[in-house]
Amino acid sequence: MDSNIDFKNIWKQQTSSKPNLEELIGKLKKFRNQNLRKLILANIGLITTSLFIIYIWYRFQPQMMTTKIGIVLVILAMVMFLFAYNKMFMVFYKIDQTQSNNEYLQSLYVVKSKQKFMQTTILNLYFIMLFLGICFYMYEYTSRMTIGAAILTYTVTLAWIAFNWFYLRPKTIKKQQGKLDELINKFEEINNQLKES
């Protein structure tokens, strides 16, 4: 057994796993840019979809009130979602490189709180309004189909909504929370190191 153990080297290896502030700020910047890119794409996607739905309403002039209610519900769902989403990510615009470590941490706590509100209340409302809107919208057109075709149309549509709700939504939420929690934990670790030194 070798009695000449290099404790100094072991200690260096152990402390190297502690987060580096510059590297962490780089990760925060990347996280911020990814979220701002998602925000821009969500705005473009949902605004384009809303304009397309309005165009369909104008072009094809639906006859039944249920169809009009459906269109309004779908557009309102998108507008409500975008309003909350844009408000949430205003915090990201304020994050810059002049902030202190503690300010970064506070900004991340605000993002986490807003993200939780977005992932629960807003997303639930969005899906409920979208679901009702699509069901109302489809009624006029499915009422002209055979019963079998109408049931198939509703089944496929509801299956797609269920897939989004029960599979994609939880997966996306878990991924978003994981990235944010990792950043928060590392900033907390650095904060604790600074307090101790």
User: Model pTM?
Assistant: 0.80
- 125: its two tokens: 């409302």
- Min mean pLDDT across 9-18, 60-69, 86-95, 151-160 is at 9-18
138 pLDDT exceeds 50?
yes
Structural domain includes residue 16: no
The predicted structure's pLDDT at residue 45: 95
Tally of domains in the chain: 1
Structural domain includes residue 171: yes
b (16+ CB within 10 A) / e for 162-192: eeebeeeeeeebeebeeebeebbebbeebee
8 pLDDT exceeds 50?
no
Structural domain includes residue 13: no
2 pLDDT exceeds 60?
no
Other CB atoms closer than 10 Å to residue 8's CB: what's the count? 8
Structural domain includes residue 94: yes
Domain span at 136: 21-196
Structural domain includes residue 125: yes
76 pLDDT exceeds 90?
yes
In which band, very low, low, confident or very high, does the pLDDT at 14 lie, cut at 50, 70 and 90?
very low
Structural domain includes residue 15: no
CA dihedral 132→137→142→143, nearest 10 degrees, is 100
Structural domain includes residue 178: yes
